[in-house]
Structure 1
Amino acid sequence: MTPGRTAAARAADAPTLVMAAHGTRSTHGEEVLAGLRDLVHRARPGHRVELAYLEISAPKLEEVLPALGGPVVVVPMLLAGGYHVHIDLPGIVARTRPDAVVARPLGPHALLTGLLARRLDRAGLRATDAVILGAAGSSDPGALADVRAAARLLSVRLSRPVTAAFASAGAPALPEALDRLRSGPAPRVAVASYLLAPGFFQTRLEESGADLVSASSAPTPTSRAWSGPATTRPSPPRRVPPCASRSDPALIRPARDRSRRTPPAPEPRAGSRGGVRRRRGSGGAGQVSLPVSRRRR
């Protein structure tokens, strides 16, 4: 079997990745999610990648799954648990594609923490700003606990307190958290968006009255990741945002400084073996001769 046919056979046996998003009435949000699907596809050439929605948007997950052949892996494009992760999505899979494998939701995760920190840095976060992690909210206590866990991870990354607040269900509500932090010593309050794409809840965060609101997590058409597939050539060293830490996967090791030269070896001391010897000349002045070897006994 030729190597080309081997690669084709492996691609045929690879499971189809189905990105299961919540759904949105925002056309811009749908475009961002479609671009995220394209980025994943370019990162895994030869593998089929599909985008489906649980509600509102099309195509629906219950329509996509039965039409796929071969193994299928469903990834919940959600940043926390809740009704859709624990009840809605598993029910759709059980009815339409019971052999499919369902992955865990995207968050909370350390990689998301690094992304949130970089989003805040690009938005202009200052060292004196108070920070809120703004999420949509849920009636599921487990989903709220996931958001608070993400806030603790971000707090460690930023080395400052981070308050989890919610735009809909959940306590504290975003306006309440803003009022409490404005009464404190911080001159500004920044909101880190714990949302995947633009839409209704991102707009609510931006209209909350916070001094700074970061962009949602997924790359937008103006971001660097949108421009095309990653090259196989190594990237040049870049400046890491101040809020990043050494554990950040995006941290790039700086290039070796080749301008440093090996320091010259120290000169041997006079009179030592293998060193220089002084002999008396006719004029009585000490003259330096070449190193001499040890005399044979």
Structure 2
Amino acid sequence: MTPHEPPGHAPTLIAVGHGSRDPRAAATLGLLVDRVRELRPGLDVRLAHIELNAPLLPDALADVRAAASVPGAVLVPLLFAPGHHVKHDLPAAAALAPGTRVAAPLGPHPLLVEALADRLAEAGWTARDGASRATGVVLAAAGSRDPESGAGTRRLAALLGERLGGVPVVAAYASATAPTVPEALRALAARGRHRVAVASCFTAPGLFATRAAAHAPWIASAPLGAHPALAWLVLHRYEQALSRAPRRELAAT
């Protein structure tokens, strides 16, 4: 939001999750949205989903359009890379709702690195682990066939490795592309890294996050959920979209 735009007159922030059959997923994203509301009192912040969970994105946009006093919306994808949903599904939905913009995905960004590092620390990672020649990290993400998505995840892995003191961090994926988490674990083992943590690059519990954690030979971090840094990042992407020319935002910066 711009400095001259009071919260009550700002576009609605719609945080858009993928959707999951795991009942914990929508509840977790609801907590994240609650934290965003706490950070920006007065701003209309809502949750929507691309599929599987209510409210679906078209319904959320219809509700915003029905409120004549609300000047449009900004869709903030609760996704970490610019794959098909960010490049196609969200812009298609926005095109049907005049005044709607699409913000950049959440990653890569230093706030995301902060959240990932904190979740690893909660799982048992210490500064000593970062200095060990036996340790490594697999950054487990959903995966996409979009080359830009893979490049963003690899950049995020590099940033996390720097944050952890130079430990090797290998990006791995639950679907669509390689390497898988087991393949990344074998690659680290070939380098003598047998004490490997799995960093969960997922917003909420679900099938992919559960499968990735199950492969961990040592510790696995929890999904990012309502981490404060993630809430700040959602607001940052919203404000970025508002500060730029009125067009749909897709680039991760």
Both proteins in one fold, TM over 0.5: yes
In 2: Cα distance, 1:187 partner to 1:124 partner: 16
Alpha-carbon contact 2:8-2:44 (below 8 Å) kept:
no
* 1:284 aligned residue: none
How far 1:17 sits from its partner (Å)? Answer: 0.9
AA aligned to 2:119 is: R
Q: What CA deviation, in whole Å up to 9, does each residue of 1:119-149 have, x standing for no partner?
A: 1112112233211111111111111111111
In 2: Cα distance, 1:10 partner to 1:180 partner: 51
How far 1:50 sits from its partner (Å)? Answer: 0.6
**Structure 2 unmatched ranges of 5 or more:** 232-253
AA aligned to 2:208 is: F
Q: Aligned with 1:213: secondary structure? A: coil
Q: From 144, 152, 161, give the equivalent of 1:146.
A: 152
* 2:119 aligned residue: 119
In 1: Cα distance, 2:176 partner to 2:101 partner: 30
* 1:75 aligned residue: 76
Q: Is 1:207 the equivalent of 2:218?
A: no
Q: Aligned with 1:217: secondary structure? A: coil
**Alpha-carbon spacing, 1:177–1:11, altered in 2? closer, same or farther (3 Å):** closer
Q: Which has the larger radius of gyration?
A: 1
Q: What CA deviation, in whole Å up to 9, does each residue of 1:232-281 have, x standing for no partner?
A: xxxxxxxxxxxxxxxxxxxxxxxxxxxxxxxxxxxxxxxxxxxxxxxxxx
How far 1:219 sits from its partner (Å)? Answer: 2.6
Q: Aligned with 2:91: secondary structure? A: helix
* 1:189 aligned residue: 196
How far 1:184 sits from its partner (Å)? Answer: 3.2
Alpha-carbon contact 2:196-2:216 (below 8 Å) kept:
no
Alpha-carbon contact 1:62-1:93 (below 8 Å) kept:
no
How far 1:185 sits from its partner (Å)? Answer: 2.1
Larger RCO (CA within 8 A; separation ≥ 6): 2
Runs of 4 or more above 4 Å deviation: none
Q: Is 1:12 the equivalent of 2:8?
A: yes
Q: What CA deviation, in whole Å up to 9, does each residue of 1:36-94 have, x standing for no partner?
A: 11111121111211100011111111111122132211111111110000001100111
Alpha-carbon contact 1:77-1:105 (below 8 Å) kept:
yes
In 2: Cα distance, 1:142 partner to 1:163 partner: 17
In 1: Cα distance, 2:10 partner to 2:38 partner: 15
Q: Aligned with 2:95: secondary structure? A: helix
Q: TM-score, normalised by structure 2?
A: 0.79
* 2:40 aligned residue: 44
* 2:170 aligned residue: 163
Alpha-carbon contact 2:78-2:106 (below 8 Å) kept:
yes
**Structure 1 unmatched ranges of 5 or more:** 1-8, 227-297
AA aligned to 2:55 is: P
AA aligned to 1:208 is: H
- Measured on the aligned residues, the alpha-carbon RMSD in Å equals 2.0
AA aligned to 1:179 is: R
* 1:216 aligned residue: 223
Q: What CA deviation, in whole Å up to 9, does each residue of 1:82-118 have, x standing for no partner?
A: 00000011001112x1311221111110111111111
Q: TM-score, normalised by structure 1?
A: 0.68
Identical-pair percentage: 44
**Alpha-carbon spacing, 1:187–1:174, altered in 2? closer, same or farther (3 Å):** closer
AA aligned to 2:83 is: G
How far 1:20 sits from its partner (Å)? Answer: 0.9
In 1: Cα distance, 2:175 partner to 2:185 partner: 14
* 1:180 aligned residue: 187
